[in-house]
Amino acid sequence: MYVTDPIADMLTRIRNANMAYHEIVDIPMSNMKHRIARVLKDEGYIKNFKVISDPGKPYQILRIYLNYGPNRERVIQGLRRVSKPGRRIYVNSRDLPKVMGGLGIAIISTSSGLMTDVEARKKGLGGEVLCYVW
């Protein structure tokens, strides 16, 4: 299956699994998706993730364990893809977005790797705004 925007596909799979209260979601693996999953785990939006190699398949799978509150309330309220293949959105360090007034995060692809808008602001880096999570 060929996907034109693999990051949007990842976010849609997470959004759909979250809305259906699934515990895990499997996504075809790539380095960018792995780094996005690491940022989501560091910020507490997901429990954990791991890479699964299946000998019968030519690709690896990124398994994401979703996080819910004590009364099954969703930790991830929303995900939105910002920069798309047809329209890339770049910002400098002074124009980094604040998501939901600082309650959410923006994942930024910088020259120093993937990081949240808060980290990029501290380091004085700009880059491509991949997505918003709240």
Give the pair of three-digit tokens for residue 10: 């990842």
pLDDT at position 1 is 60
Domain 4-64 matches domain 77-131 at the CATH topology level:
no
Contact 76, 45 (CB under 8 A): yes
CB atoms within 10 A of CB 29: 17
Q: Where are the domains of the chain?
A: 4-64, 77-131
- Three-state DSSP at 18 gives helix
Q: Pick one of 3.30.470.20, 3.30.70.260, 3.30.1370.30, 3.30.420.40 as the CATH number of 4-64.
A: 3.30.1370.30
Q: Find the helix packing angle between 6-19 and 31-42, rounded to 10°.
A: 40
Note down pLDDT in tens along the chain; length 134 residues. 677 999 999 999 999 999 999 999 999 999 999 999 999 999 999 999 999 998 887 889 999 999 999 999 999 999 999 999 999 999 999 999 999 998 999 999 999 999 999 999 999 999 999 999 99
pLDDT at position 104 is 96
pLDDT at position 9 is 97
pLDDT at position 57 is 79
Contact 6, 32 (CB under 8 A): yes
Give the pair of three-digit tokens for residue 102: 């600082």
Beta strands in 92-133 (DSSP E): 105-110, 113-116, 127-133
Q: Pick one of 3.40.50.2000, 3.40.30.10, 1.10.3720.10, 3.30.1490.10 as the CATH number of 77-131.
A: 3.30.1490.10
Contact 24, 64 (CB under 8 A): yes
Give the pair of three-digit tokens for residue 22: 């699934």
Contact 99, 105 (CB under 8 A): yes
